[in-house]
């Protein structure tokens, strides 16, 4: 299916064309039919000669109903622009064309109606010249008469040529259905309609109401008046919703694929239009079917920050327009550049931000994505997609990506942090992982390990330190350990008792630092010997008659029971000795070294 909006000043001409093309009455209200004035959106559909189905959204032409017109045009990819041969180009035709240009509509067809009342050529030439200067460019044109039916065959053929040029929509895209009508049906409940511009809707699909975050589910679907189990874009669709009240939805709201969209209350945009440099501070932002007041903060000649009155589900690359409702004019077209912009708090920040955006403006999503990730440092793939950006950066686990430049900076910061920590905390083995997360503002502790590896560091027992580091001990600790080392070299198994350790001022932290530095070996709580004592003890015990008792081992080693018991247990664990069922031990053959 294809969806085309009928725009232009001539209400009766547009509605007549839709009526003749579809056999349906697009003016739904009696007042519209009585006055020949389109007030709200009208709809109809038909099948073209080539078999293509086309739905029409008939929009109002009068200036009092421009918001309604924009609600119908916003999500639609093509337009049938209508002028009257006997009236020619009208002021309201200009605003309609400006709106289409601001929204970036690129596919269209010109219909000159009422050719039975006047020569259509002057109006056709004037309209084609104006249209050619917009995003529509050069378009096909047809002269028709709604009263006589002249040219309707040519119009159908021209519509077939138009739809053949329309790019296909992405059926796998995330759904964002802008609501243009919401009503209740007896026995069915809440129903909304809109133009599905991308993605696929299926019965049973979960959806989220953008304005409230309320969860709902598709109870039923219709397109072109027929029930459907699934509808692919582009299509006009009516969605019967489960679990949401009619009062909870109005025109301008949107139904979203859950967990795929970001609703934002602040955006940075590029501006298009001759008057974009002199924007009022209060305007109305039109996107999809939404019309939302915004505060405008200029950042540069062609860039601005917008703050909508309510959060909107927007992505980088979205096109919208700003309208000055008081002066009845389109103020500027809008290209959304950043849906999570940085705060502007320092002097000159707005000017610098404007220069940055000016360099990034244009159809270049990769530089935009790189700039956003550079500023954020880390982002998940889902966050980038929700912002409308391609997934860039390097994966670091847990679905997160990091900017390469940020990663390089963080490795340097981590090395400096670890080096400084060892200086300031000489008795500790390294920086606690959570301290690294906080100091470097990382998204989680799981980042620390890959970051440490990139910085040629290691994570041991929840701390980041240099690999195989022989820590330098403070001078006072070094002196005490040196004195203890000399004593243990003379009597290698006479571990100092608590009194001797206290006399040396070697407390728990100092002893732990000496152990980490490889200067002492902790045999058990309160029992410290020199590294390598296991090998030397094995050599001494191998000279005993095998097997031997604890008492014999204690005497041979020249130590106390306090030391002998844990030392023998250590030798057992290392496989140097073997404990027998009768509690005696023997040295394992070949295991004394």
CATH of the domain at 378: 1.10.10.10
Average pLDDT along the chain: 86
What would the two tokens of residue 154 be?
Answer: 């040519």
HSE of 494, CA atoms in CB hemisphere, 13 A: 10
> Is 0.75 surpassed by the pTM of this model?
no
| Of the residues 138, 165, 192, the one at which a domain ends | 165
pLDDT digits (tens, 9 = 90+) for 248-275: 899 889 999 999 999 999 999 989 875 5
Residue 477 falls within a domain, yes or no? no
The reported pLDDT for the residue numbered 26 is: 59
Tokens 């008469």 map to which residue? 145
How far is Cα 442 from Cα 584, in angstroms, rounded to an integer?
55
Q: Is the pLDDT of residue 75 over 80?
A: no
Instruction: Read off the pLDDT of each residue in 41-53 and give the average, rounded to a whole number.
Output: 83
Helices and strands counted in the chain (H then E): 18, 34
The reported pLDDT for the residue numbered 277 is: 55
Rounded to the nearest 10 degrees, the angle between the axes of helix 475-490 and helix 508-516 is: 70
Number of domains in the chain: 5
The reported pLDDT for the residue numbered 317 is: 87
Residues 268 and 303 in one domain: yes
Q: Is the pLDDT of residue 207 over 70?
A: yes
| Lowest-confidence segment of 65-79, 293-307, 477-491 by average pLDDT | 65-79
Cis check: omega of the bond before 234, within 30 degrees of 0: yes
What would the two tokens of residue 314 be?
Answer: 């927007």
How far is Cα 42 from Cα 57, in angstroms, rounded to an integer?
6
- Residue 342 sits in which domain range? 263-361
How far is Cα 387 from Cα 552, in angstroms, rounded to an integer?
76
The reported pLDDT for the residue numbered 266 is: 95
Burial annotation 522-538 (CB, 10 A radius, 16+ → b, else e): ebeebbbbbeebbeebb
Let me know if 290 is exposed, middle or buried by CB neighbors in 10 A (0-12, 13-18, 19+). Answer: buried
Partnered with residue 586 across adjacent β-strands are 578
Reduced 3-state DSSP string for 161-192: HHHHHCCCCCCCCCCEEECCEEEEECCCEEEE
CATH code: domain of residue 186: 2.40.30.10
How long a stretch of residues is the chain?
Answer: 593
- Expressed in percent and rounded to 5, the helix, strand and coil fractions of the chain are 35, 30, 35
Residue 476 falls within a domain, yes or no? no
Residues 414 and 461 in one domain: yes
């Amino acid at each position: 299916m294809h969806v085309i909006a009928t725009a232009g000043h001539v209400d009766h001409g547009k509605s007549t064309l839709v009526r003749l093309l579809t056999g349906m009455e697009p003016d739904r209200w009696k007042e519209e039919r009585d006055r020949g004035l389109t007030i709200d959106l009208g709809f109809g559909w038909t099948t073209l000669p080539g078999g293509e189905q086309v739905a029409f959204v008939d929009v109002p032409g009068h200036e009092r109903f421009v918001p309604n017109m924009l609600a119908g045009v916003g999500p639609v990819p093509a337009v049938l622009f209508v002028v009257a041969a006997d009236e020619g180009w009208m002021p309201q035709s200009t605003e309609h064309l400006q709106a289409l240009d601001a929204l970036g509509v690129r596919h269209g067809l010109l219909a000159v109606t009422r050719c039975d009342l006047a020569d259509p050529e002057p109006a056709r030439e004037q309209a084609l010249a104006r249209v050619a200067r917009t995003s529509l460019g050069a378009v096909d044109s047809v002269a028709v008469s709604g009263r006589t039916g002249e040219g309707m065959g040519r119009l159908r053929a021209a519509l077939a040529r138009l739809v053949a040029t329309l790019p296909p929509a992405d059926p796998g895209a995330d759904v964002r259905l802008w609501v243009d009508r919401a009503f209740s049906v007896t026995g069915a409940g809440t129903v909304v309609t809109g133009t599905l511009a991308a993605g696929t809707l299926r019965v049973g699909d979960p959806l989220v109401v953008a304005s409230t975050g309320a969860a709902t589910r598709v109870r039923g679907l219709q397109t072109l008046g027929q029930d459907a189990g699934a509808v692919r874009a582009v299509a006009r669709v009516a969605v019967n919703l489960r679990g949401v009240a009619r009062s909870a939805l109005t025109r301008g709201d949107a139904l979203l694929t859950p967990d795929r969209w970001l609703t934002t209350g602040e955006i940075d945009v590029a501006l298009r239009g001759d008057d974009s440099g002199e924007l009022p501070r209060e305007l109305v932002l039109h996107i999809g079917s939404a019309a939302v007041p915004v505060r405008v903060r200029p950042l540069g000649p062609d860039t601005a920050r917008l703050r909508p009155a309510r959060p909107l589900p927007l992505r980088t690359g979205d096109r919208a327009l700003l309208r000055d409702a008081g002066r009845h004019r389109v103020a500027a077209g809008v290209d959304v550049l950043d849906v999570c912009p940085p705060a502007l708090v320092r002097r000159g920040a707005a000017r610098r931000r404007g220069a940055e955006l000016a360099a990034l403006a244009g159809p270049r999503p990769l530089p935009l994505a790189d700039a956003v990730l550079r500023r954020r440092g880390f982002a998940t793939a889902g966050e980038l997609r929700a912002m409308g950006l391609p997934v860039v950066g390097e994966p670091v686990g847990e679905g997160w990506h990091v900017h390469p430049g940020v990663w390089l900076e963080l490795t340097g910061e981590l090395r400096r942090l670890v080096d400084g920590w060892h200086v300031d905390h000489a008795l500790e083995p390294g920086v606690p992982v959570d301290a690294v997360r906080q100091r470097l503002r990382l998204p989680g502790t799981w980042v620390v390990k890959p970051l440490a590896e990139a910085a040629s560091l290691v994570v041991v027992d929840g701390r980041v330190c240099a690999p195989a580091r022989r820590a330098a001990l403070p001078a006072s600790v070094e002196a005490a350990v040196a004195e203890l080392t000399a004593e243990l070299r003379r009597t290698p198994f006479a571990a100092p008792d608590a009194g001797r350790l206290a006399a040396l001022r070697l407390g728990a932290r100092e002893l732990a630092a000496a152990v980490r530095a490889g200067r002492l070996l902790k045999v058990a709580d309160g029992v410290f010997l020199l590294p390598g004592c296991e090998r030397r003890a094995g050599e001494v015990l191998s000279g005993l008659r095998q097997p031997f008792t604890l008492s014999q081992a204690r005497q041979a080693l020249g130590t106390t029971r306090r030391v002998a018991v844990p030392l023998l247990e250590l030798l057992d664990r290392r496989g140097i000795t073997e404990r027998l069922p009768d509690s005696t031990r023997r040295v394992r053959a070949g295991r004394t070294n």
